[in-house]
Amino acid sequence: MTYPRNVMRPSQEWRILKVLQTPAPENVQLCPACPHPGKNLPEDWHDAPQAKHWLYALFVAINANFRLKRRDVSKDKVDPSLGDGWAYFVKHKDYKTYVKEHTSAVQEKSTCASHNAVNMADTKSNHGLATTGVGTINCARHNMKRGNGVGDLQKGERYVNMDYLFFSTLRGISLDVLNISYDIACQWHKKLWVCMDSLPSVMHLNHPNMAITFFIPKFHLPAHIMECQTRFSWNLIPGVGRTDGEAPECGWANINPVTLSTKEMGPGARWDTLDDHFGDWNWKKVVQVGSMMLHKVEEALPECRACQEDLRELELVIILEKPSFLAEWKIQLEEWEQD
Ligand SMILES: [Zn+2]
Ligand SMILES: [Zn+2]
């Protein structure tokens, strides 16, 4: 159904007024379960012993959606966003300028399995399209969109776009443990810090003083070479619980029904409409997070007890067979985890 222009304009204005009702300065629905110093962490969280720092880790997941296209109609000047950079999308002009200036950089081919996202990033057809999709950064454990972590793609999933979005959403964070999930993390992380230097200094992370770990989401990992399957596995690194890292994939089913209408919109109307839908998704998450966490705890506790019981039985068998082996085994395991 096509609405007349005198209905569409007020609806866009109404959406932006709703964004402004969200608590400033972020204008986004923050994830209440992720760590926010000064908001939901103890004052002395920074002084926690090293062994407890995993408690204050931020988990982010990176992904792209190629259904959220936009036809090449209208222009930014004719149809600007009414809230440019106020919520989930990045500030468009700065982002566009950066991508344009760095678009000639040739993307290194994958040395892992043949990843289309890496090798075909520059070849994806954009005929008749102003935007081929969006890249996003979510919180990986609760699947909420992060502020200033969404941006349009002009071709495939190029590093230049994803780097900007990643550093944009993490601007100003003061946490020191960061776990990053990305299905091409094994390739993308290699030149990440070199790329960071080409971004404005306000977007830089103090990475030498942070514990940053790269992961590949669990469903995607078996397609990688064996080296990646040990190095980037959520199953083999301590302090990350049972995270699967697949969060953004689960949210696309919610946003994809709007792709048919937003594909035909001018740039500003589309940005503001999508921002509104991302805000709605986050708001529903905020409302449900309490019952969701309770449900997870209720499922996890009996499973945890069952695993502890299995381990106890195994250790008992080892003690009966060869008592010294159990102590050796624990030392080896801890050494391997520390490495
Ligand atoms: Zn979260
Ligand atoms: Zn790999």
Report which bound ligand comes closest to the CA of 243.
Answer: 1
The number of beta carbons lying within 10 Å of the beta carbon of residue 288 is 12
Round to whole Å and give the CA distance between 22 and 283: 10
**C-alpha of residue 289 to centroid of ligand 1, in Å:** 10
Mean of the per-residue pLDDT values of the chain = 90
Distance CA(90)–CA(67), nearest Å, equals: 19
Distance from the alpha carbon of residue 328 to the mean position of ligand 2, in angstroms: 32
Cis (ω within 30 of 0) for the bond into 25?
yes
| SS3 at position 130 | strand
- Amino acid 70: pLDDT: 96
- Euclidean distance between CA atoms 20 and 131, whole angstroms: 26
Residue 7: pLDDT band with limits 50, 70, 90: confident
**Mean pLDDT value of segment 48-65:** 94
Main-chain phi, psi angles of 139, to 5 degrees? -80, 135
pLDDT number for residue 114: 65
* CA neighbor of 87 nearest in space, from 137, 147, 135, 134: 147
- Looking at residue 217, its pLDDT comes to 96
Give the distance (Å) from ligand 1 centre to CA of residue 31. 5
Mean pLDDT calculated for residue range 135-147: 95
- Does 157 score more than 80 pLDDT? yes
- Ligand positioned closest to the Cα atom of 217: 2
For the chain, percent of residues with pLDDT exceeding 90 = 69
Return the structure tokens found at 144: 């909420």
Question: Which ligand is nearest the CA of 146, by number?
Answer: 1
The one-letter code for the residue type at 133 is: G
For residue 22, pLDDT over 80 is answered with no
CA of 287 to the centre of ligand 1 (A): 13
Residue-level pLDDT at 288: 95
Torsion of CA 328, 331, 335, 338, to 10 degrees: 160
Q: Which residue has the higher pLDDT, 158 or 126?
A: 158
Segment 20-43 mean pLDDT = 86
How many angstroms is it from 103 CA to the middle of ligand 1?
A: 32
- Cα–Cα distance for residue pair 169/148, rounded to 1 Å: 5
Q: Which pLDDT tens digit goes with each residue over 269-300?
A: 999 999 999 999 999 999 999 999 999 999 99
Ligand 2 center to 71 CA (angstroms)? 33
Contact 201, 63 (CB under 8 A): no
Per-residue confidence band for 120, with pLDDT thresholds at 50, 70 and 90: low
User: By mean pLDDT, which of 59-63, 112-116, 196-200, 263-267 is the weakest?
Assistant: 112-116
Residue 185 pLDDT: 96
37, 195 contact by CB (below 8 A):
no
199, 98 in Cβ contact below 8 A?
A: yes
Residue 180 in contact with residue 60, Cβ under 8 Å? yes
The pLDDT score that the predictor gives to residue 300 is 93
